[in-house]
Amino acid sequence: MGGLVKGSPPSDVERIIVLHARLPRVLGAGLVGAALAVAGVVLQGLLRNPMADPFVIGISSGAGLGAALAIGFGMGTTVLGVLYAVPITAFLGALVTVFAVYNIAKTGTRIPMLTLLLAGIAVSSFLSAIISFVMITAGESLHALIFWLLGGFSTTNWNHLKIAFPPIVFGILIIYIFARDLNIMLLGEEQAQQLGVEAEKLKKIMLVFASLITATAVSFSGIIGFVGLIIPHITRILVGADHRFLIPASALTGMIVLILSDTAARTVIQPTELPVGVITALFGGPFFLYLLRKRKTVVGWHGG
């Protein structure tokens, strides 16, 4: 990077490194951070549970299983020479899992949130057992599989971003449209119904789009924990519980935190690169325990 430091025109190598390695990675980390943070805001609001995160309904385990099958059985990097096998199978695994959990929890036309939570935990445990079996039989692919499951952006490129950008941005915009209804849902489902919010319809819409953005993010980044759990809490303390401000602020905070985490993953123990999921877990776990200790009542929760 000598040319860039000295102010002279960048060399071809420097240009390639910045445009085709560093920039896609930074944008990918920001995009995934925004998706996980917004999904966390939605699920915590719907479940009225501060412990909820984007993986509560089994999305991470579904995506993990899809990726494990692709990596463990050596499907390669492309399908028909165009599509990336691991992101595609991870995405399909996440969507199938969400569909299964949704139908298990569905009672008539209603979706009880507690039942959804328990169904997600049960399905996640089952899928995790299958992932463990795939890991045991993975052979030479075990290292790549473990690294993907821990989360990271070392393989992110422009093609990944072209596929991930539209569904994530579209999903976040749709969620933001319902910010007012999410505010009313904090009062409880009965009061929300009295104020004109169709609670069951809102839950279906929010679950679909929270699942969409999370599944898309996980399919390219792997499983990165604590972002969807911690970021909504941090942002809620800073801007309050109004979803009109909480959603965009959480997206921005998630972007910043995950970009910084990815930078730390690349530089902490050079030349070895840590999975980003390790960094977020190392900082996210203790920080969340600190929040629980210092704030017995989380800002914006009404009996949740």
Give 108-125 pLDDT, tens digit per residue: 777 787 788 888 889 999
Burial class (CB in 10 A: 0-12, 13-18, 19+), 82: exposed
Kindly indicate whether the domain formed by 20-156+167-293 is annotated with CATH number 1.10.3470.10.
yes
How far apart CA 190 and CA 201 sit, in angstroms, is 14
Closest by Cα among 279, 264, 206, 211 to 58? 211
What is the 8-class DSSP label of residue 21? I
Which residues have a Cβ under 8 Å from the Cβ of 30 and sit 6 or more positions away?
Answer: 255, 256, 258, 259
- pLDDT attached to residue 298: 47
In this prediction, the residues of the chain whose per-residue pLDDT falls under 50 are 79-82, 298-299, 303-304
- pLDDT attached to residue 166: 93
How far apart CA 153 and CA 119 sit, in angstroms, is 30
How far apart CA 46 and CA 66 sit, in angstroms, is 27
- pLDDT attached to residue 303: 45
Boundaries of every domain in the chain: 20-156+167-293
